[in-house]
Amino acid sequence: MPSREPNSSRIVLTTAPNASIAAQIIYGLELRGINATLCDAPPRERDSYQILLSDGDEVIARSAIEVIWDAMLETMPRAVDRFSNCLFCGYNTQGLAPPVTCPECGHNLDSIESRRAASEGRIPR
Ligand SMILES: [Zn+2]
């Protein structure tokens, strides 16, 4: 059996805006048997932290990340305002079934990225 090389690869699984969210993600990964490490994000990154895969299967780790973000974002609704208008372009999405992709601007309003952007006030209007 070939010996594994020391893990020098730095696979960024996700980024996190603060230490509390980063800790929740790392804990969630640990529960699934995936070891991850936290490090500072490069200066120009949007988020402050990067979560790197240190040991485990990348595909499993990535699907775990989806589940973990989903759980954390459960309370964060899709990227629409209280009138169901798309937060990216203002198009009214009332009556569209989830997952909603805005017919006007093409943003998936239920995606983790869109919900994060909405919850963090990062959507330019
Ligand atoms: Zn839109």
DSSP 93-112: -TTPPSSPB-TTT--BTTSH
pLDDT, residue 3, reads: 46
- The segments of the chain whose pLDDT lies below 50 read 1-3, 6-7
CA dihedral of residues 7, 11, 14, 15 (deg, nearest 10) = 80
Quick one: pLDDT at residue 7? Answer: 46
Q: Is 44 exposed, middle or buried (0-12, 13-18, 19+ CB in 10 A)?
A: exposed
* Amino acid 9: pLDDT: 61
pLDDT for residue 72:
84
Where do the domains of the chain lie?
11-72, 77-125
Please give the Cα distance from 59 to 80 (Å, whole number): 31
- Residue 68: which of 107, 122, 116 has the closest Cα? 116
Distance CA 86, CA 115 (A): 11
CA of 16 from ligand 1 middle (Å) equals 25
> What is the 62 CA–ligand 1 centroid distance (Å)?
27
Ligand 1 centroid–CA 88 distance in Å is 5
Q: Can you give the pLDDT at residue 10?
A: 83
Tell me which of 3.40.50, 2.60.40, 3.30.70, 3.30.930 is the CATH number of domain 11-72.
3.30.70
| 83 Cα: distance to centroid of ligand 1 (angstroms) | 13
Expressed in angstroms and rounded, the spacing between residue 73 Cα and the centre of ligand 1 is 20
Taking the centre of ligand 1 as the mean of its atom positions, its distance from the CA of residue 87, in whole angstroms, is 7
- CA–centroid distance, 89 to ligand 1, in Å, is 4
Please tell me the predicted confidence (pLDDT) of residue 93.
95
For 13, the 3-state DSSP assignment is strand
**To which residue do tokens 């090389």 refer?**
5
